[in-house]
Amino acid sequence: MKVGGTIRVPGDKSISHRALIFAALAEGASRIRDILPSADVHSTATVLGALGVPVPPLSTDITIAGRGPRGLTAPTGDLDCGNSGTTTRLLAGVAAALPFTSRFVGDASLSRRPMRRIAKPLREMGATVDVAPADGLPMTVSGGHLHGITWRSETASAQVKSAILLAGLVAGVEVTVHEPARSRDHTERILTALGATVDVLGATVRLAPRDRLAPLHMRVPADPSSAAFLAALAALATQGELALPDVCLNPTRTGFYAALARMGANLTLEHGEPQGGEPVGTVVARPSSLVAIDLGRDDVPSMIDELPLIACLAARAAGTTTIRGAEELRVKESDRIATVVANLRAVGVNADELPDGMCIEGSERPLRGRVQTHGDHRIAMAFGVLRALPNSEIAIDDTTCVAVSYPGFWDDIARAVVS
């Protein structure tokens, strides 16, 4: 299989959510270019609309009239977050500081995902938060009159950290979050760009009280989590080269590329001009012979969303790959440890679940079988890369779920393969 060409993958999902939220909380007109027009980002736009800040259709150049940190208004109905954990957890942080009641709902997958991890700190700040008995949604947040906190988070989660930072920002109180390891830092970067004082020391972040936010002017870089699928395809090819320009190369997000290089991939990251406060560059990926690696707890935060893809690459790498310290995968859009291992086995790969990860035995056997995505976009795309290989006969039960983060994924995969 030969790959070729230059593909600019769509805008970063994490940054797109934050750009909308901060534009709504800023004062005056914010302009966002190259936002990701995906289902998850659409959920954030819809919820902001329900909170009194209309967001235009997600096109390459949008302007949003911000209402100021405390300008959001009470919703008249439920806030439907669809499949999006980031929408729910970040906007629950905002809602916790506002003097009204908001009820968050979502699809079946989101309704099962843990919300106590944000309910606990938001309650400690003074909000009333009711989470569904089994944890998850529906979740009702009644806010207002918060006080500052210092919170020690049990998991390295940018969503938990951002919920607390947003609650502190909207309430105008000081907050400090300690994490066991540093999670992605897009919230801190945007806050700093908008004039807030954010102190970062190791895995601890402190936000000083702030009354106003300047409008946001940003171009959203391409998503490294989406580019990862195309880089993986190039690594598994036998000829050619794929260039992926404009990719966000924030070090809290590039763990996948470091791991792929450790697996022996012929990969270069060419740094360019920073964009919107984020390091950006071109990823060039070429065919390689891959070898197995061991990944542990320290590797996980900067590649958490790419671990299903690493597992699929491991199926084609010489030796046995082990992933540990990744129990967070069990509470993503699906239980990604169970889903990945079951699907690898379904296509003929020897793989085993571990409580906190998995083992995958690489082989050159043709891959044949049926993949069940459980509606999880990253499972569909990771196995979509294996499906594109010559001799693969893989059926994927739901190809439409890629719309959550990468609506043009199947077209881009087809474009990347030149023969």
Q: Which amino acid is at 218?
A: M
Phi/psi for 226 (5° steps) reads: -80, -40
> Would residue 199 show up in a list of annotated catalytic residues for this protein?
no
3-state secondary structure of 75: coil
- CB of 302 vs ligand S3P, minimal distance in Å: 11
3-state secondary structure of 378: helix
Q: Are strands 175-178 and 149-152 parallel, antiparallel or unpaired?
A: parallel
Closer residue to ligand S3P in complex, CB, 162/334: 162
Q: How far apart are CA 331 and CA 339, in angstroms?
A: 11
Contact 392/366 with Cβ under 8 angstroms? yes
- CB of 381 vs ligand S3P, minimal distance in Å: 13
**DSSP structure string for 269-302:** EEE---BTTB-EEEEEEE----B--EE-GGGSGG
Q: How far apart are CA 307 and CA 311, in angstroms?
A: 6
- CB of 22 vs ligand S3P, minimal distance in Å: 13
Matching residue, tokens 């992605």: 184
- CB of 194 vs ligand S3P, minimal distance in Å: 18
β-sheet bridge partners, residue 343 = none
Residues that bind ligand S3P (CB under 6 A): 14, 86, 157-159, 162, 183-184, 304-305
- CB of 18 vs ligand S3P, minimal distance in Å: 7
Closer residue to ligand S3P in complex, CB, 159/226: 159
Contact 178/199 with Cβ under 8 angstroms? no
91 closest CA partner among 46, 27, 157: 46
Catalytic residue among 34, 40, 305, 412: 305
Catalytic residues: 305
